Structure 1
Amino acid sequence: MKFWSESWQRLQLALPGLRKQLAFPQTSLQLCILGALGGLLAAILIILFRLAILALQSFYLDKFDDFATALPEVRWLLPFAGAFCIGLIALLTGYKHYRLGIPFVIHRIKTSYGMMPFRNTFNQFFGGVAALASGFSVGREGPSVHLGAYGASFVGKKLKLPYNSVRTLVGCGIAAGIAASFNTPLAAVIFVMEVVLREYRIHIFIPVMLAAVVGALVTRLVFGMERELAILQITTLPGWHFPYLILCGVLIGMVAFVFNTNMMRIIRTFKNWPLPIRLLLAAAITAAIGMLIPQAMGAETGAIQYAVEAPTDVQLLLALFIGKMVLTLVALGLGVPGGVVGPIFGIGIIFGTLLALVPGLLHGHSEHAGTYAVLGMAGLMAACLHAPLAALVAVMELASNPDIILPAMLVIATAYVTGVQFCHTKSLFLMQLDFMQLPYKVSPALDVLQKVGVLAQLDHRYHLLLQSDETSIRQALDQLAADELLLLKSEGEDGPVYQLVSYDVSLSVSDGSALRYLPVPLLTPQATMAEVYQLLETSREGAVCILDEDLGVPEPAGLVRWDQVQTLLVKENNLL
């Protein structure tokens, strides 16, 4: 107990220096260590999430995620039981906290530096467990991203780190969460940069990469080295397949358009329906289709298994493709908590296996079915989510075979161009954000300023004067150095009020220069230069006071002037 007490005291002493170091947008050992810590916490949350699903499914399934092994009466009741649990959790936490998954995380990163509310996360964890354990066609990566973001932001919140570093830590948590979910550390890093953060910065990339390593290593200690796609046999495709792959990419791009369009159509159609009714409808459809095509229930694992076992069974593959598509659209469109990447993997693999039937007829065998299955997955992910590089890297890692790279690049490029140029489809995540009216864009100026903490720009060139008469203020002004400001502190109804005082040189009066009082807004040390810009943008002058919250009574830690914002934008990015 004494050891932990002393360690905490040493940490408290080191925190001011740590916070100032993290306020700078640069790679540092401290940020890397914190990123790894955030990644570890995120990985633990994901492991608990996965173990909870495994534990529940072990009661009624002979094989994980294979709902065809469940008794018919159990399979019928499971979606209704899952919908009841999801609805109950949402009721207990409040329906306004039922914003979950990757789109919500993207919104929070852009508008709140990735700080994740606890109630939404509680909803995501237990609602996600209920959804995946009861056979809804949703993926585990949506909860993984949400939980990873919460785990890392929790570290930043408890240590009161600058918001610019919290944003980086959230990226670390997401990368660790995806790596812990799919055992794909490199794809996790690319997914964070391409889809979630939507930028590449070296000082962000390094800690995110380390967090992904931590997430993958911790997962392997619990679940081993196995990957879902390892059961697919990847073969080298002869050159004559490549013209056909272009056609495959076009078809996959069209499937992505159909998927995204119908997903948004369902969301819009049922947007005003109460959540319990939507969940009940999703459960009824899932139960009905599950009785006919039980292989289509659950995440992507079951669909992959059946695509491998019956690559030439056209009837089964078509039934799986249609059933999986409908179940996924219904579940996610009606608000069942879960991710879309897992089902996209399953749908893509089934569709790719179907596409392999054409060259299989010419060959007389199905040895390339596994290769086409993986290509279908990669193309559909790229076209649906607008994440071509993440799709390519995911395929490389999940397949563990370099022979897939060249055909995957061709299919991904073709599917993406088809979806964007000819079908005019947007990223599914951005379509959902637009529909929910959740902002996910900031101006170029704010984007730059969000990366610099106010502690990196603190200005101590000021003189603090307590509430005084005009004569004392003038005497203090006369004694100031040329580059100093006079900060006047007075007591207001709601606490201390700060003002900058100067001579108003624009006025000429008989008794001398008048005094000019300029209000000084207050910010915490966690703020970034973006908040300074927003407070001073209208007046384009003055300063913001940063209060030191570590003291018993908050006192000024320094000022941040408007001219520092100007310098940062003009000198570094030429944006103002």
Structure 2
Amino acid sequence: MIILFRLGIEWFQSMLLNSQGDFSNAPFWQRFIMPLVGVFCILIVAKLTGFKHYRLGIPFVIHRIKTHFGLIPLRATINQFFGGMFALASGFVVGREGPSVHLGAASSSFLGQWLRLPYNSIRILAGCGIAAGISASFNTPLAAVIFVMEVVLREYRIHIFVPVMLAAACGSVMTRIVFGDAHELYFFSFAAFSQWMYAYLIVFGVALGALATLFNRQLMRVMRLFRPVGMVWRLILAALITGTAGLFLPDAMSADFDSVRRLFDSNPDAILIALLLVVKMLLAITAIGLGIPGGIIGPVMLIGMLAGALLLSPLAAWLDIPDYISSFALLGLAGMLTAVLHAPLAALTAVMELSYSPQIIVPAMFVIVPAYVTSTQFFKNRSVFLQQLDYQKLTYAVNPIRETLEKVGVLSVMETQFKQFHDAPQKAIADYLAEHPTDIVVQRHSFELAANFKLAQFDTSLDHDADAIVFVDLAGISAQTTLAEAYDKMKNQRAGAVYIYDTNPDEVMGVLSWAQVQKHLHQGQI
């Protein structure tokens, strides 16, 4: 899916531009028209799928994984595939990782539903799809694994870590087969630092933390300000702003890394870098804030690289700027990504893999820590994804009890050894229980439209008028469900049991009691 998505973007741009992402050599009228044409195509797809507003990308996927086991709606996936393709091809400052995450999670969840896997397994499979998507998009398998664990699933468990790792490796292998082995920032090299420069890196990180806070707050301000405006007019406004900026500063269009390479190859002065930084931030904030279907990580990386190059300028009296501009651009990427997403480990691994420079690790740590602390502690800046989730009123926090139970499927706990009677008299059941007092006995009553199931057991109430056998109604739940759904069925009575079925509710696969649910709940809490 991601390979097809990337090939689609490249095909559209090859039809319109001299080379991918090279808007500077396109005619001025084309730079203005392309975002408008892109929005027109996005709206056509939204109209065909019946969409009135967009809920796509990484925040939406986090919500679906936390509250819907990673099940992604088909219409949203269609909009993300084509909408993201048109947005990226037409020059909007959005990243391809947003669509990659969405498409990766959707593809794997569709596979899980087709295989009728348990929902807790589909959630893990969705995480695998996200890792494969990011890895296929940027050729960064390790950063993809860390991103899934740190940002999306927000937990480290070995039974999740291993399949996610394998999926990321597969995504990287496939993208290398199609697009080659070159990493995204192959044109950047990291220069060795003098010891005294580490002190400046702390100041450097503080500045990036402040810039990231400004970016997040302005993005959320744009989203809130234009909330009453309809989707059509918001997208058209984003296209007009992007097209107008492209008339005067074509290098500010798109979130393609090659645009940064072309800029740095021309030995730009600080004024040009500062201008590009301001315009790139403006275009990213308006495009994402007004609802263009694309990711935020790509623009944040570019903004970080430009900010890093700009913050190198104060050292011009002591350093040869061209020798260190690549190094500071990479460090700016790491600091900005950390402070915006609140994902320091993912940022560290991403910058290392993108640059293929392990020697960047220590300097990056000196930038990442102050950037993160400045953003979170001094400016009280939250992850941009969590802010977007709150704005869209999408749930991402789950009750601890439910979260524990959702990790266990009913198939792994249910009791499959049981005796089933079909409309049998009570005496026959009593005789059987007398000989097999520990067995699970299910009584089935057949009706014209459906069957009804009851659990038969000895009455232990010590009531003199009670029958020897008591029958408890059994609710049915699908074999794909988790212990959370079983808990919901029995929590009011704090007793009883449910029966498990596969495709036919009239066929019992197993029985799950309240005691079994309680046992696993206590084990999970311990």
* TM score, norm. by length of structure 2: 0.95
* 1:444 to partner: Cα distance: 2.6
Q: 2:437 corresponds to which letter in structure 1? A: A
* 1:215 to partner: Cα distance: 0.7
Query: Which of 391, 405, 409 is the aligned partner of 2:347?
Result: 391
Residue 525 of structure 2 is aligned to residue 573 of structure 1: yes
CA distance in 2, matches of 1:164, 1:323: 44
Matches for 1:447-486 after TM superposition, within 5 Å? 447-467=403-423, 471-472=426-427, 475=430, 478-479=433-434, 481-486=436-441
When residues 490 and 348 of structure 1 are mapped into structure 2, their CA distance, relative to the original with a 3 A threshold, is: same
Name the SS for the 1:363 alignment partner: coil
* TM score, norm. by length of structure 1: 0.87
* 1:162 to partner: Cα distance: 1.5
* 1:73 to partner: Cα distance: 0.8
Matches for 1:144-159 after TM superposition, within 5 Å? 144-159=100-115
2:300–2:336: 8 Å Cα contact kept in structure 1?
Answer: yes
Q: 1:519 corresponds to which letter in structure 2? A: D
Partner of 1:534: 488
Partner of 2:386: 430
CA distance in 1, matches of 2:122, 2:116: 9
When residues 294 and 492 of structure 1 are mapped into structure 2, their CA distance, relative to the original with a 3 A threshold, is: farther
Q: 1:568 corresponds to which letter in structure 2? A: H
Matches for 1:257-406 after TM superposition, within 5 Å? 257-406=213-362
* 1:548 to partner: Cα distance: 3.1
2:97–2:297: 8 Å Cα contact kept in structure 1?
Answer: yes
Runs of 4+ residues deviating >6 angstroms: none
Partner of 1:489: 444
* 1:396 to partner: Cα distance: 0.5
Question: CA-to-partner distance for each residue in 1:277-326, whole Å, 9 max, x for gaps?
Answer: 11111111111111121111111324422442245412211111011101
Q: 1:395 corresponds to which letter in structure 2? A: V
When residues 52 and 476 of structure 1 are mapped into structure 2, their CA distance, relative to the original with a 3 A threshold, is: farther
Q: 1:145 corresponds to which letter in structure 2? A: V
Higher mean displacement: 252-261 or 155-164? 155-164
Partner of 1:131: 87
CA distance in 2, matches of 1:109, 1:128: 21
CA distance in 2, matches of 1:94, 1:483: 55
CA distance in 2, matches of 1:231, 1:494: 69
Aligned pairs, number: 526
Q: 1:506 corresponds to which letter in structure 2? A: S
Higher mean displacement: 477-486 or 537-546? 477-486
Partner of 2:193: 237
CA distance in 2, matches of 1:478, 1:453: 29
CA distance in 1, matches of 2:435, 2:3: 60
Query: Which of 512, 516, 520 is the aligned partner of 1:564?
Result: 516
CA distance in 1, matches of 2:321, 2:239: 39
Partner of 2:454: 499
1:454–1:529: 8 Å Cα contact kept in structure 2?
Answer: yes
Residue 478 of structure 2 is aligned to residue 524 of structure 1: yes
Partner of 2:367: 411
- Percent identical residues: 47
When residues 140 and 476 of structure 1 are mapped into structure 2, their CA distance, relative to the original with a 3 A threshold, is: farther
1:172–1:207: 8 Å Cα contact kept in structure 2?
Answer: yes
1:232–1:308: 8 Å Cα contact kept in structure 2?
Answer: no
When residues 183 and 338 of structure 1 are mapped into structure 2, their CA distance, relative to the original with a 3 A threshold, is: same
2:430–2:469: 8 Å Cα contact kept in structure 1?
Answer: no
2:450–2:506: 8 Å Cα contact kept in structure 1?
Answer: no
Name the SS for the 1:59 alignment partner: helix
Unaligned runs of 5+ residues in structure 2 are none
CA distance in 2, matches of 1:323, 1:108: 33
When residues 507 and 462 of structure 1 are mapped into structure 2, their CA distance, relative to the original with a 3 A threshold, is: same
Partner of 1:76: 32
* 1:541 to partner: Cα distance: 1.1
Question: CA-to-partner distance for each residue in 1:442-479, whole Å, 9 max, x for gaps?
Answer: 2233222222211111213543233456x447635753
Question: CA-to-partner distance for each residue in 1:345-369, whole Å, 9 max, x for gaps?
Answer: 1000000000111112322543111
